[in-house]
Amino acid sequence: MVEAQAALTTSGLGKRYGRTWGLQDCSFQLPKGRVAALVGPNGAGKSTLLRMAAGITRPSSGDISVLGRSPKTQAVDVLRRIGYLDQERPAYRFLRVEEMLRVGRSLNPQWDQAMALGHLANLGIALKARVGTLSVGQQAQVALTLCLAKRPELLLLDEPLAALDPLARSQLMGVLLRSVVDEGNTVVMSSHVIADLEAVCDYVIILLRSRVAIADDLEHLLASHRLLIGPRSASAVTDQVVVISRTDTERQTNWLIRTEMPIADPSWEVVEPTLEEIVLAYLREQSGVASLPSMPTRPQTRGEGGVEAP
């Protein structure tokens, strides 16, 4: 992919905090027009990556390009073309919502006041209300509205769904999806709510131990992983697969594998996993934390493998 066609490109990107690397050897290219889910455990480097893309944090090593520009040497141009929502959602709590819009309009030459007013009206958020009196969900919606009204080409959203109830999450995702459809934005969104991400994303970036474990199209990611369910006596799969996770019960074994080849062994029931099952398998096995819950076991009826779930 030519870098100019990418919304976000990193090469050997790293950020060090003292003796600890917050992000290390991060390399991938995100095409324009995609909605990317950025997932990983706490401390994996998600916020660090987004802050470097926004030009807030300087890299310790490697390079990063945003819409073909450097956040370090072309910061003003980059900031004009992106919308960044920090997970802390900083806002002037003493200001009224309409005053927040006025601040946004004064700072952004491409500001779309009609869009901002329309979004807030649809959400029932009063312009006269002070930001500090709004619910957590409403504050998140105001912050997202400020991002969208910039008419950005790239949206960087750090945990936008955190601490929101199901209705607030649904409303926020609705606003985001309308923006993507109407404006053709590229979105990078970090979240622990994987089920919500799967409904909207078409690209997945998994960070583990401050490094990129996966950066792939969602369609290919799902197609190249399989959940195998079989008896404990089932023979090992071939060398053409990579075993990501294995969990055993008294009578049954579950393997999450990555492969481009079909599994023809009749002793296995082969199931396409969900994005959540794939992400949890990577997080559990590569974090080295054995106490995390096992991957959910799918019920199995007697059939190909001749085994039923315990």
Q: pLDDT tens digit string along 133-148?
A: 998 888 888 988 899 8
Angle at 86 between CA 161 and CA 101, to 5 degrees: 95
CATH of domain 3-219: 3.40.50.300
Q: Using the structure block, give the residue that is written with the tokens 């030009």.
A: 55
Q: pLDDT tens digit string along 23-81?
A: 999 999 999 989 999 999 888 999 999 999 999 999 999 999 999 999 988 988 999 99
Q: pLDDT tens digit string along 112-131?
A: 999 899 989 988 999 999 99
Q: pLDDT tens digit string along 173-201?
A: 887 787 787 888 899 999 888 888 888 89
Q: Which residues of 255-276 are buried (b: 16+ CB within 10 A; e: fewer)?
A: bbbbbeeebebeebbbeebbbb
Which one-letter amino acid corresponds to residue 167?
L
Closest residue by Cα to residue 110 from 72, 149, 76: 149
Mapping DSSP to helix (H, G, I), strand (E, B) and coil, where does residue 152 land? coil
Cβ contacts of residue 40 below 8 Å, gap of 6+? 46, 206, 207, 208, 213, 283
Domain boundaries, the chain: 3-219, 224-287
